[in-house]
Amino acid sequence: MKAINLSEKVYDKLKIIEGKEIDEKIFHLLETNALLRLKECEEQIFRFEARYGMDYKDFKTAWEKGAIKRKRSHPVERDFMEWEGFESERKKWLNTLKEIKD
């Protein structure tokens, strides 16, 4: 276990956070942050799913088969890269939540 020093200001602010001990409070903050980040990723992913009418896996398959219209246009390529990034980030936040819960 590592000891950390908290300023009185931070310590006082932690009183409003759920949990009895500092560790519980910090884990609650970490979980809340990860859930917020996950929600942001999922909102972006939903935007792409709505735009293209499919999930990322189907879009990637269609991309590889050449079935995406204007595949090489800048907006579509940018969407593909951003979507892929949000999918990766989503997995990262899901793994982070799992680690926090364990």
Pseudo-torsion of CA 96, 86, 55, 34, nearest 10°? Answer: 30
- The predicted model scores a pTM of 0.83
Q: Report pLDDT for 96.
A: 95
2 within a domain of the structure (yes/no): no
15 within a domain of the structure (yes/no): no
Interatomic CA distance for residues 52 and 95, integer angstroms: 27
Percent of the chain with pLDDT over 70: 100
Q: Report pLDDT for 56.
A: 97
44 neighbors 82 (Cβ within 8 angstroms): yes
| pLDDT, the chain, mean | 94
CA-based nearest residue to 102, from 41, 42, 27, 35: 27
Average pLDDT over residues 75-97: 97
71 neighbors 63 (Cβ within 8 angstroms): yes
13 within a domain of the structure (yes/no): no
Number of domains present in the structure of the chain: 1
5 within a domain of the structure (yes/no): no
pLDDT higher than 80, residue 10: yes
Structural domain including 43 reads 20-101
